[in-house]
Structure 1
């Protein structure tokens, strides 16, 4: 198998894992000559609108893992969320990273002052990294996600107390 085919299979594997973990019922991806449809519904139409003739692949439901308590500073911070704080949300689905590379310190820590342009984290999906910036000036009050957790688009990642 050539290198491009191996990468394509790995990318499809990652998409399938994200599909299972995301709790979605359907995922459609089209890129160039490649079309991919993942669905939990046996009656789903194919990308070209024709009824699927092949036997659908069963995707077992994935139960969310029980949340283990995590010490403050190792991932998500503890404590109640003040309704006055502003949530910084994930722009897309992917893996949440608090630091620029493994072993590096996090971009920001609770209690740190941030500006609108301050980079807070990275969200990675299929080796594409999206930088998440604060968007507002204030003090970082809460980290809502543990490092390397899978997040969904729109999920709160951080809470900032505005000045």
Structure 2
């Protein structure tokens, strides 16, 4: 396997990407998010179940309705990626409930880094009224897990301070 990117290049990308909450009103490119979703589906999944499903929302009226039940969604959000898990009876136990959260995190990291490289900002949002959004964004045999606000960046935030690496080692 030959790496086209150095560790230093990847490190720079990972350290520069920030959570963005101020977006421009510009329209987003559907093909850009599809390419980033592809990065997400190539992330590892528990037991290789590949249960994540994605719905792209760019309709302004629907986004306004989502905001009513999602206080964490930035006010200027031009697009939302709703992430679901495919649900079958066999997946309704503690083990599968725990691993799906890992799957989501791994997929989101890839998607967010891809969006950043395409000039978009993103904000992961879990603060929403589950029952209301389940009704609004219902997909048969799927459970809404998390939202990703994304769009062109209006204001790029400064990074928060981090403690020294040794602080995190136990």
When normalised by structure 2's length, the TM-score is: 0.20
Larger radius of gyration: 1
Bigger relative contact order (CA 8 A; separation at least 6): 2
Which is strand-richer, 1 or 2?
1
